[in-house]
Structure 1
């Protein structure tokens, strides 16, 4: 995985990853069920870049399960291509949820997928929803 860059003013983070054989179907096209994994790569690397790797979140007693996901398939990626995953948090939620938006580009730079995930911040012990810590919002450029 290769980190590309981030655009602070828009909270955009980009990273690249190679399509492995395990990601493809018999036609060597990425199987549709693998796009959530690409979303996770974008989300995890964005959080790491902003100072909150998931291990640190867990050490704070926080878990962030996905409660909603949407994916729109526009084009295809093929075996051994490098894809670019763009992840962004566009706005702050006042409660316990955070939405990550994704755009995925194939090696030719063509948009092949867009989607989003909504995660809920929960206490790791009680599994009850908790407000997203201000430090996380601030790291994403969305602090108060």
Structure 2
């Protein structure tokens, strides 16, 4: 998928319902954990962006639940940048069971970039360093397909 290592997560009891099945809301949390990990691996963590006054709020989330994940399972969450244009970014996720290597969930999150005042910004214009990192992440992914 991309050059980043998958984010790994062992399912905790509190993430499940009475049947020991992961509650659907937790996949969205896992997406965020995987996205934060991906950005850190790319050398551009959220902390660095926020220090420079740039935020990246979620505009929308999608998740397709294909199979159940249970308490005690370990999943690998593959995340990669699918679309990026300097103003908006889409990140795609696959939640894969480490034992069976079966995909249990696919999803995506859409983001924009804003300054501390909440106004949209173009990373191409305000922070070329961030732009270059995200553009390279997009190119790396496209070169793998």
Looking at structure 2, the residues matched to 57 and 19 of structure 1 have their Cα atoms a distance apart, in angstroms, of 29
Match of 1:3 in 2: none
1:36 aligns with 2:28: yes
Contact 2:31/2:93 (8 A) holds in 1: yes
Structure-2-length-normalised TM-score: 0.84
Q: How does 1:41-60 map to 2 (within 5 A)?
A: 41-60=33-52
Match of 1:24 in 2: 16
User: Which whole-Å deviations, capped at 9, do the CAs of 1:47-71 have from their partners, x for residues lacking one?
Assistant: 0011111111100101111011111
Which residue of the other structure, out of 97, 113, 120, is the alignment partner of 1:106?
97
Give the helix-richer structure, 1 or 2: 2
Structure-1-length-normalised TM-score: 0.85
Across the aligned residues of Structure 1 and Structure 2, the Cα RMSD in angstroms comes to 1.7
Question: How far 1:13 moved relative to its partner?
Answer: 4.3
User: Tell me, which stretches of 5 or more residues in structure 2 are unaligned?
Assistant: 140-145
Give the strand-richer structure, 1 or 2: 1
Contact 2:83/2:91 (8 A) holds in 1: no
Contact 1:100/1:117 (8 A) holds in 2: yes
Match of 2:119 in 1: 128
Deviates more, 1:99-108 or 1:40-49: 99-108
Match of 1:117 in 2: 109
Looking at structure 2, the residues matched to 96 and 52 of structure 1 have their Cα atoms a distance apart, in angstroms, of 16
Question: How far 1:103 moved relative to its partner?
Answer: 0.5
Question: How far 1:137 moved relative to its partner?
Answer: 3.4
User: Tell me, which stretches of 5 or more residues in structure 1 are unaligned?
Assistant: 1-5
